[in-house]
């Protein structure tokens, strides 16, 4: 007989968003020595194109590409002398632009250090990436407090920081300055992306008018760190505003995410920690008058995956032995099966995280375990998409395409509300 009792099964969870963070041969320093690694190809377009194609086959929302102004190091604030780990990088924005025409759906979010670079240049580069990807560009902004990176530019000294200094008065002052500058930088980026109205290009051969100059706007940003007049020299990007993301480990970057970003990557250690972090970001978001906006918060995890129980932990231990130490990064490390990871993601989702950025321990193995093991498991649970449902990165993340702040209707509304534009 059919069971006539009320269905007591739990409701299906909201679909998750998934990203992967691509770094060298993988996040474990010894990953380049794995049998299926491709260390001779790390500086080729084909290597990165293959990885992103695999991520797209797994229907992931986006990939991030790591970058920095210094060589990789075992120390967070200074170079090292190691020769047994991957050293050297390609420029993340340029790699993303090279890959963009080879992909159709997945978002491309390169990392760029904003501390020593100019917002005008970066705004143009990311707008160009949005054009060549047909609306799938983003940017992860990164700050730098390293003296060796400051020395590349010679414009200003950098204080010597260590993790132990962060919670001293001087350390907090440095962090406030760095992340305050990053917030101003994002504001300049956004104004430059808005400085051309959507219909500024006329392209009328009969009249000989290519643009309507009245629809290009000076942004006239003046702050303690930048003075930028504008307008941009690149028309408004297809998304209007490419996605802005930031990695956050503590209160200063949490405020940056809440005040200025569309997406924050955070590094909780458990569900309670995730709940606390999300609450702090939401508080900063509300204080900035953005309570009604969607700001995604993704949890970061380094992952070693294998279908056989215990195999991933054994593999990570073997890599630790090759590397000469037990490796741990800034994010929690997960070793286990795709089903066990799916359980963890759904548990942490209940703490308020809207998605996850997974860092494959070794490439390509752990990326393929994500796309071919974790994704099907989440799909079976009704927790992840079975097809791409939007053509832009903002669309994939459920973010609207904003109107230019300089369009007459928006300017009038802002003035009526007393907002500064």
Cis bond upstream, residue 395 (ω within 30): no
- What dihedral angle (degrees, nearest 10) is formed by the CA atoms of 385, 391, 392, 396? -20
Q: Judge residue 373's burial from the number of C-beta atoms within 10 Å of its C-beta, 0-12 exposed, 13-18 middle, 19 or more buried.
A: buried
273 labelled binding-site residue:
no
CA–CA gap between residue 416 and residue 410 (Å, rounded): 10
CA-to-CA dists, residue 360 to 136, 145, 181, angstroms: 22, 26, 31
CA–CA gap between residue 262 and residue 214 (Å, rounded): 29
Q: Half-sphere exposure (CA, 13 Å, Cβ side) for 205? A: 0
For every residue of 70-118, DSSP letters joined together read S---SSSSS-----SS------HHHHHHHHGGG-SSSEEEEEEE-SSS-
67 labelled binding-site residue:
yes
Q: Evaluate whether 261 touches 295 at the Cβ level (below 8 Å).
A: yes
CA–CA gap between residue 90 and residue 419 (Å, rounded): 41
Cis bond upstream, residue 364 (ω within 30): yes
**Coil, strand or helix at 295:** coil
Alpha-helical runs (H) found in 133-260? 147-150, 169-194, 251-260
Q: Which residue matches tokens 């070693």?
A: 304
Binding-site residues for FMN, in ranges, read 67, 111
Q: Which residues sit in the known binding site?
A: 67, 111
């Amino acid at each position: 007989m059919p069971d006539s009792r009320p269905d007591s099964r739990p409701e299906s969870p909201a679909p998750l968003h998934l990203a992967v963070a691509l770094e060298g041969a993988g996040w474990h320093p010894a990953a380049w020595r794995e049998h299926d690694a491709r260390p001779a190809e790390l500086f080729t377009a084909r290597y990165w194109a293959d990885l992103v194609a695999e991520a797209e086959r797994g229907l992931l929302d986006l990939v991030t590409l790591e970058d920095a102004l210094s060589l990789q190091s075992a120390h967070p604030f200074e170079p090292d002398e190691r020769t047994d780990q991957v050293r050297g990088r390609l420029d993340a924005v340029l790699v993303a632009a090279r890959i963009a025409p080879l992909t159709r759906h997945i978002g491309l979010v390169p990392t760029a250090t904003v501390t020593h670079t100019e917002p005008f240049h970066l705004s143009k580069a990311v707008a160009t990436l949005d054009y060549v990807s047909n609306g799938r560009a983003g940017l992860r902004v990164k700050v730098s407090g390293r003296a060796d990176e400051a020395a590349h530019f010679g414009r200003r000294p950098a204080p010597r920081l260590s993790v132990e200094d962060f919670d001293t008065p001087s350390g907090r002052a440095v962090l406030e300055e760095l992340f305050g500058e990053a917030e101003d930088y994002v504001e300049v980026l956004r104004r430059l992306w808005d400085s051309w109205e959507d219909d500024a290009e006329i392209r009328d051969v009969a009249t000989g008018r290519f643009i309507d100059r009245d629809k290009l706007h000076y942004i006239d940003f003046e702050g303690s760190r930048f003075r930028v007049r504008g307008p941009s020299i690149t028309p408004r990007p297809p998304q209007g505003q490419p996605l802005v993301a930031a990695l956050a480990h503590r209160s200063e970057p949490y405020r940056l995410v809440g005040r200025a970003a569309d997406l924050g990557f955070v590094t909780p250690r458990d569900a309670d920690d995730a709940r606390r972090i999300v609450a702090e970001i939401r508080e900063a978001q509300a204080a900035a008058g953005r309570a009604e906006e969607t700001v995604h918060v993704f949890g970061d995890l380094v992952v070693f995956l294998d279908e056989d129980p215990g195999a991933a932990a054994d593999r990570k231990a073997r890599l630790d032995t090759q590397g000469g130490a037990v490796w741990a990064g800034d994010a929690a490390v997960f070793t286990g099966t795709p089903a066990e990871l799916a359980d963890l993601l759904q548990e942490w989702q209940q703490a308020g995280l809207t998605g996850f950025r997974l860092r494959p321990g070794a490439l390509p193995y752990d990326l393929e375990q994500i796309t071919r093991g974790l994704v099907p498991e989440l799909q079976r649970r009704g927790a992840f998409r079975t097809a791409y449902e939007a053509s832009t990165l903002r669309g994939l993340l459920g973010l609207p395409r904003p109107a230019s702040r300089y369009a007459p209707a928006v300017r009038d509304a802002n003035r009526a509300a007393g907002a500064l534009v």
